[in-house]
Amino acid sequence: MEPAVELGVRPERINTISCWQAAARVGARTYGEGAAACAVVLREPARVAARGELEVPIART
């Protein structure tokens, strides 16, 4: 997260489901961390990623 902030990404535009300590350091969000920690929630996205079909749209650069 620190590299993103150093590159000019505003912390309020950053969200994480796993790096809570880093988020606290830079002021980023941690929405969704409770649900995403569950393997059942991650099962389908993991399958899509394994098939090479995961798309992550970038809203703005």
pLDDT recorded at residue 50: 94
Torsion of CA 10, 52, 36, 56, to 10 degrees: 30
pLDDT recorded at residue 26: 95
pLDDT recorded at residue 16: 85
pLDDT recorded at residue 45: 82
pLDDT recorded at residue 46: 86
In a domain, 58, yes or no: no
Q: What value does the mean pLDDT of the chain take? A: 84
- Supply the range of the domain harboring residue 10: 2-50
Residue spans of the chain under pLDDT 50? none
pLDDT recorded at residue 58: 83
In the chain, how many domains are there?
Answer: 1
In a domain, 12, yes or no: yes
In a domain, 13, yes or no: yes
